[in-house]
Structure 1
Amino acid sequence: MATGQEPMTPPQQPGEAPPSPEQPQQPQVKAAAQAAALDELQDRWRRALADLDNLRKRHAKELERERGEERARTAAAWLPVLDNLERALAHAESDPSSVLKGVEAVRDQAVEVLRGLGYPRYEETGVPFDPTRHEVVGVIDDPGAESNTVAQIVSPGYGADGKQLRPAYVVVSKRQE
């Protein structure tokens, strides 16, 4: 019989190595290694989240800076137009015909600024109605025109190639048949 101080071991099978005193500790070592690996993965995950948050903040700041620079470029492009309008108003009392020519020149300058920003002006008549470029504000019966063509421009459109600032407001011809 065993004394109360020796641990009981199961009977040994033939060819089996005797149990070592370290075997009961292996599950603890494995659990500790898994806990360390889990801690490392959690640390890497937290760092990745922090990096992502920093990237978002940096991107938001850069986007706001880019927007500000673009607003400044656009406003700077309009300053000469504003200057010329003020000059025309200052000479309004002197010679009305020269003021009219000045205002026309300022309009042409404004159209050029829009073209330079990527929004050329279009105001052609006699072309087929295109719902992506035109907005109908009226319909007329015009026996001399093709049906469903632009007969009159109320307000010109600006833009091209899918970048449209505003469609042209048009009157479309319809033939009564």
Structure 2
Amino acid sequence: MPIHPEKPDPPLTEHTDPAPESAGAVDVDPAPPEDDTGELQELQDRWRRALADLDNQRKRHVRELEREQKAERSRTAAAFLPVLDNLELALTHAGADPGAIVEGVQAVRDQAVNVLELLGYPRHAETGVAFDPARHEVIGVVQDPDATPGTVVDVLRPGYGDGERQLRPAAVTVAKRE
């Protein structure tokens, strides 16, 4: 390839590539200008800080959630302490009148049912209501001429709660459909 004296080679600087254009080389800027480097470092620093803030927030949320769960467990347990106290009181009177003991245990049961209701889990032990698969679990089906078919005849185990806040469904027997 002849060298043309009319066209001198451009001077070599930081920003020029000495490779000829015919070799397929592309001008590449080996180092960004000074103000671009500062801006890039600032963006990287902000990005790292945002990641650190996000990680700190996640850890803080986990700690707060654990703290709230412990507090809720404590409130629930504290709500049942009077029930436990009354059961222990009933046991200390075990040698007394059996009728009084039965009345005492029934009062403690009522107190426990009240605590569950205050916690948002009302008791369901109704008979004569229509069978609802969301609230009832069928344990048996009976032929009862006095009952409307498909209604609850007997509650073997009461249910607690409603809808999505259900602890357990009521175990029931249902009148047979004819």
Match of 2:89 in 1: 87
Deviation at 1:137, TM superposition (A): 1.1
The one-letter code sitting in structure 2 at the alignment partner of 1:8 is P
Match of 1:162 in 2: 164
Residues 71-124 of structure 1 show CA distances to partners (whole Å, capped at 9, x for unaligned) of 111111000000000010110111111000000000000001001101111111
Mapping of residues 1-177 of structure 1, within 5 Å: 8=8, 30-175=32-177, 177=178
Local SS of the residue matching 1:164: strand
Deviation at 1:31, TM superposition (A): 4.5
Tell me the distance in 1 between the aligned counterparts of 2:136 and 2:37: 67
Question: Normalising by the residue count of structure 2, what TM-score does the alignment of the two structures yield?
Answer: 0.80
Residues 113-162 of structure 1 show CA distances to partners (whole Å, capped at 9, x for unaligned) of 00110111111111111111111111112222222211110111111253
Tell me the distance in 2 between the aligned counterparts of 1:134 and 1:173: 13
Tell me the distance in 2 between the aligned counterparts of 1:95 and 1:77: 29
Question: Normalising by the residue count of structure 1, what TM-score does the alignment of the two structures yield?
Answer: 0.80
Is the 2:159–2:167 Cα contact (8 Å) retained in structure 1?
yes
> Aligned Cα RMSD in Å?
2.7
Deviation at 1:30, TM superposition (A): 4.8
Deviation at 1:65, TM superposition (A): 0.8
Tell me the distance in 1 between the aligned counterparts of 2:90 and 2:142: 37
Structure 1: gaps spanning 5 or more residues = 1-6, 11-20
Tell me the distance in 1 between the aligned counterparts of 2:33 and 2:175: 83
The one-letter code sitting in structure 1 at the alignment partner of 2:78 is A
